[in-house]
Amino acid sequence: TESCLSEIDAADALGAFVHKTPEIALEQAKAADARIKAGDAPAMCGIPLGIKDLFCTKGVASQAASGILEGFTPEYESTVSQNLFDNGAVMLGKLNMDEFAMGSSNETSVYGNAVNPWKVDDRQLTPGGSSGGSASAVAADLCLAATGTDTGGSIRQPAAFTGITGLKPTYGRCSRWGVVAFASSLDQAGPMTKSVRDAAIMLQAMAGHDPKDSTSADFPLPDFEAALTGDIKGKKIGIPKEYRMDGMPAEIEKLWQDGAAMLRDAGAEIVDITLPHTKYALPAYYVIAPAEASSNLARYDGVRYGHRAKLAAGDGIDQMYEKTRAEGFGPEVQRRVMIGTYVLSAGFYDAYYNRARKVRALIKRDFDTVFADGIDAILTPATPSPAFGLGEMTDADPVEMYLNDVFTVTVNLAGLPGISVPAGMSAEGLPLGLQLIGRPWAEDDLLNTAYALE
Ligand code: GLN
């Protein structure tokens, strides 16, 4: 813990930690030492972690990297972080992210962007987003692991961009209680770690049923670490042809083929599959996620949390709401609220929101069909490119940024578990990730397949 704290202080330029909590960390580390001495040391005992700023942490600023939550210090601890602390984990501080987890580059944060520790010459690169601070901190060895959240790829894409492992569990595996809501039917917390084994151990501590989240599942937790046998003989791995996008860089195509060959060499059977509704996933996601966000973000009204605008004489409550929200929300969040309220409005609800919900059901059915046909896991690239330069995408059409999520959003729409594992290097020497998508509630199997790829 002490060495992580000094690494963190030396790495301010990465912008990974937005809030350091050395007193809490040292106190928790002392308690962990005592548990170890007493012979009562659970798996995460004494492991120093970073916590994404989206998690509410008791007595510690939790702003979801937004100006509107300025000064907000929760009175309660999120279930996931509490589970980790009960398991002996240590909190080093809060990690940078895109505002309300909306973004793919960590550039929408009120704190400014986090930086990828990987560089090409002097070009500064994004660590990805929205869990960019988590990815940057783990990749730069500022902590041993970090929490992330994934609504459309926010664990898997930054993991791929920084050469670490990121697991988005099945929807309902981890409690969402105390995690600031972005799109409630898609959001899921998960581990961001240095290895598949670490992801298995950390998921074990994070996951579980929580009566405070009605969507958290009351299913038994498999022993995730025990599942890591490396034996994948006879497993059927699907390669979905719809993920072979036009203009896919040759190095991504090669990475994908090499990954399939590796799994074949380990005894798996590689099968061509079809997920026919894949091309509608991105448009459906960018209707459903903003719709849910616009509703979730209605609570930031200047009364209950954080920031309130200064009012002029004669201003009433409407002006208070308008000014607070105009000042407190950044441009990407405002864009999402506008898209969301538009697609939910009486005149457009059927044309957009309802249509997107139907498409979502079709995407889910595509996956159900291939799993019913005996496919155990699906292999795809995690991202369409390696990490891009900071600022490179922000001036472009926002849709350019949304295209980054092309391989990851299907998994959230279908509620499935997905993992990104480092699998190779780009020509420029940047990490590339492969994604494995698993059957619902089969993270044990998924982790084991990822283990064979690692
Ligand atoms: N990039 C996607 C978005 O901006 C996904 C973000 C996430 O998974 N939180 O909505």
pTM tops 0.90, yes or no: yes
**Cα separation of 394 and 398, whole Å?**
7
CB 84 within 8 A of CB 192: no
Residue 395 reports pLDDT greater than 80: no
ipTM at complex level:
0.98
**How long, in residues, is the chain?**
454
pLDDT tens for 273-309 read: 999 999 999 999 999 999 999 999 999 999 999 999 9
Burial of 440 (0-12, 13-18, 19+ CB in 10 A): buried
| Cβ count near 391 (within 10 Å) | 12
Say which residue the tokens 């942490």 belong to: 57
CB 436 within 8 A of CB 446: yes
CB 166 within 8 A of CB 128: no
**Cα separation of 38 and 164, whole Å?**
33
**Cα separation of 47 and 117, whole Å?**
22
Domain-embedded: residue 377: no
Domain-embedded: residue 318: no
Residue 404 reports pLDDT greater than 90: no
Instruction: Tell me the two tokens of residue 424.
Output: 């190779």
State percent of the chain over pLDDT 90.
Answer: 95
The torsion angle over the Cα atoms of residues 441, 238, 231 and 372, rounded to 10 degrees, is: 50
CATH number at residue 100: 3.90.1300.10
Domain-embedded: residue 147: yes
Q: 405 in ligand 1 pocket by Cβ < 6 Å?
A: yes
**Interval 413-442 mean pLDDT:** 98
Q: Of all atoms in ligand 1, which is nearest to the CA of residue 102?
A: 4
Instruction: Tell me the two tokens of residue 178.
Output: 């105390």
CB 150 within 8 A of CB 156: yes
State percent of the chain over pLDDT 70.
Answer: 100
Domain-embedded: residue 62: yes
**199 CA distance to ligand 1 centroid (A)?**
21
Half-sphere exposure of 390 (CA within 13 A, CB side): 22
Least confident of 23-27, 212-216, 355-359, 401-405: 401-405
**Interval 394-402 mean pLDDT:** 81
Q: 101 in ligand 1 pocket by Cβ < 6 Å?
A: yes
Q: Of all atoms in ligand 1, which is nearest to the CA of residue 183?
A: 9
**Interval 311-320 mean pLDDT:** 97
**317 CA distance to ligand 1 centroid (A)?**
32
List, as one string, the DSSP characters of 227-258.
T-----TT-EEEEEGGGS-TT--HHHHHHHHH
Cα separation values, 351 from 343, 347, 364, Å: 8, 8, 20
pLDDT tens for 166-223 read: 999 999 999 999 999 999 999 999 999 999 999 999 999 999 999 999 999 999 999 9
Instruction: Tell me the two tokens of residue 391.
Output: 């600022």
**281 CA distance to ligand 1 centroid (A)?**
13
Domain-embedded: residue 119: yes
Provide the pLDDT for residue 397: 81
Mind telling me the catalytic residues?
52, 130, 154
Q: 102 in ligand 1 pocket by Cβ < 6 Å?
A: yes
Split at pLDDT 50, 70, 90, the class of 399 is confident
Residue-wise burial string across 334-366, b where 16 or more C-beta atoms lie within 10 A, e elsewhere = eebbebbbbbbeeeeeeebbebbeebbeebbeb
Helical H runs in 189-312? 196-206, 250-265, 281-296
pLDDT tens for 75-101 read: 999 999 999 999 999 999 999 999 999
pLDDT tens for 228-256 read: 999 999 999 999 999 998 888 999 999 99
Say which residue the tokens 């039917």 belong to: 185
Q: Of all atoms in ligand 1, which is nearest to the CA of residue 285?
A: 10
List, as one string, the DSSP characters of 99-117.
GGG--SSSTT-TT-----S
Domain-embedded: residue 293: no
The two beta strands, 269-273 and 236-240, are: parallel
Say which residue the tokens 């809030």 belong to: 19
Q: 190 in ligand 1 pocket by Cβ < 6 Å?
A: no
CB 336 within 8 A of CB 290: yes
Residue 265 reports pLDDT greater than 80: yes
Closest residue by CA, ligand 1 atom 5: 152
Q: 153 in ligand 1 pocket by Cβ < 6 Å?
A: yes
Residue/partner pairs of 368-373 with CB below 8 Å, 24 or more apart: 370/238, 370/240, 370/273, 370/274, 370/275, 371/439, 373/273
Residue 117 reports pLDDT greater than 80: yes
CB 447 within 8 A of CB 167: yes
- Per DSSP, the three-state class of 189 is strand
Domain-embedded: residue 15: yes
In which domain, by residue range, is 24 found? 2-206
Q: 106 in ligand 1 pocket by Cβ < 6 Å?
A: no
Domain-embedded: residue 124: yes
CB 140 within 8 A of CB 48: no
Q: 351 Cβ partners below 8 Å, 6+ apart?
A: none
Helix (H) or strand (E) holding 273: strand 269-273
Q: 289 in ligand 1 pocket by Cβ < 6 Å?
A: yes
Q: 152 in ligand 1 pocket by Cβ < 6 Å?
A: yes
Mutate to test the pocket of ligand 1, among 151, 155, 167, 339 (most ligand atoms within 8 A of CB): 151
What does R_g of the chain's alpha carbons equal in angstroms? 21
Q: 257 Cβ partners below 8 Å, 6+ apart?
A: none
Q: How many structural domains does the chain have?
A: 1
| Cβ count near 411 (within 10 Å) | 29
**448 CA distance to ligand 1 centroid (A)?**
26
